[in-house]
Amino acid sequence: MRIFVTGATGFVGSAVVQELLGAGHQVLGLARSEKAAQELVAAGAQAHRGEVEDLDSLRRGAAAADGVAHLGFIHDFANFPAVCEIDRRAVEALGSALVGSDRPFVVTSGTALITPGRVATENEASALTVHDFPRVATEEAAGAVADRGVRVALLRLSPSVHGDGDHGFVPALIDIARATGVSAYVGEGQNRWNAVHRLDAARLFRLALEHGAADARYHAVAEAAIPFRTIAAAIGKGLDLPVVSKSPEEAAAHFGAFAGFTQLDAPASSQLTQQRLGWQPTHNTLLADLEHGHYFDRK
């Protein structure tokens, strides 16, 4: 297949590109700069100039492909509601180019927005609204596209997609710890994150494109429930800093725009995903990656 990939030069997207190419697929990657286009060509893919806010470029890319993997997202947590609405429009634009076909459309979402406080499973729609958690806009858009007959599958990523080169949530926590001199958690720190290695997640994207069902949900989850305090302790050990508790009232000042994410209680299962697609995580756990030290090499 020829797959159009948005976010193709990102941390997860670049791994998806390599996974698809390694399996014999062709890749057309969205590139918002000449540098990104050159990176894609060097990787063995083709480049399609555009960006997630350029809806015409998204429609053209999707129309030229046998399937679409949408991983592009603007990681601006200070303007989170706005960038989530941008993602809604991107999903709608990509889906509009696939109406009337059986071409697969894999849309990236997150496990954290499904059933906060209890284990989320693949059969469940989000219990939240966009007013509760703006990222729900993506799943709403995917549902609207599916209602038009598009073969949509939601692939929900863990809050921590980890591995060498990570610049997501865990590096943000490390940067905050460096800046404040402590590695912190909120309250008792018993709220839970789930996690997956980027290479395991990339393989799941490929399987969802190759074998995924219409109107399906898949969870890229290797570890279902890691207490946040355990993550904070690993960061404290890696930086040789004290590990401390912050009250919910102190969290906003300490973590800034990231405060809400530190309090997520989002355990999730991937049992159905593993059964349906034959996916088995094989790479390092999050704590093993933190033990290896590459998270603490950069300054």
The reported pLDDT for the residue numbered 128 is: 81
The reported pLDDT for the residue numbered 298 is: 63
Residues constituting the chain:
299
The reported pLDDT for the residue numbered 299 is: 55
The reported pLDDT for the residue numbered 206 is: 98
Can you give the pLDDT of all 299 residues of the chain as single tens digits? Answer: 999 999 999 999 999 999 999 999 999 999 999 999 999 999 999 999 999 999 999 999 999 999 999 999 998 878 989 999 999 999 999 999 999 999 999 999 999 888 888 999 999 998 888 888 888 999 999 999 999 999 999 999 999 999 999 988 999 999 999 999 999 999 999 999 999 999 999 999 999 999 999 999 999 999 999 999 999 999 999 999 999 999 999 999 999 988 988 999 999 999 999 999 999 999 999 999 999 878 998 65
Considering the domain architecture, whether residues 270 and 216 belong to the same structural domain is answered as no
Q: Name the residue range of residue 239's domain.
A: 161-193+224-296
Considering the domain architecture, whether residues 68 and 208 belong to the same structural domain is answered as yes
124: DSSP letter: P
pTM of the model: 0.94
Considering the domain architecture, whether residues 47 and 130 belong to the same structural domain is answered as yes
Considering the domain architecture, whether residues 43 and 176 belong to the same structural domain is answered as no
- The number of domains in the chain is 2
Considering the domain architecture, whether residues 214 and 292 belong to the same structural domain is answered as no
Considering the domain architecture, whether residues 102 and 240 belong to the same structural domain is answered as no
218 and 156 in contact (C-beta within 8 Å)?
yes
The reported pLDDT for the residue numbered 115 is: 85
Over the Cα atoms of the chain, what is R_g? 19
Task: Render pLDDT for 187-222 as a digit per residue (tens, 0 to 9).
Answer: 999 999 999 999 999 999 999 999 999 999 999 999
The reported pLDDT for the residue numbered 297 is: 82
Considering the domain architecture, whether residues 38 and 185 belong to the same structural domain is answered as no
Q: Return d(Cα 44, Cα 41) in angstroms, integer.
A: 5
Considering the domain architecture, whether residues 143 and 62 belong to the same structural domain is answered as yes
Considering the domain architecture, whether residues 95 and 235 belong to the same structural domain is answered as no
203 and 155 in contact (C-beta within 8 Å)?
no
Q: Return d(Cα 297, Cα 279) in angstroms, integer.
A: 31
The reported pLDDT for the residue numbered 77 is: 79
Considering the domain architecture, whether residues 259 and 175 belong to the same structural domain is answered as yes
Q: Is the C-alpha dihedral spanning 29, 261, 224, 109 positive or negative?
A: negative
**Burial (CB count within 10 angstroms: exposed 0-12, middle 13-18, buried 19+), residue 24:** exposed
The reported pLDDT for the residue numbered 114 is: 86
CA distances from 260 to 36, 77, 86, 257, 264 (A): 31, 10, 21, 7, 7
The reported pLDDT for the residue numbered 263 is: 94
Q: Which uninterrupted H or E stretch holds 86?
A: helix 80-96
CATH number of residue 24's parent domain = 3.40.50.720
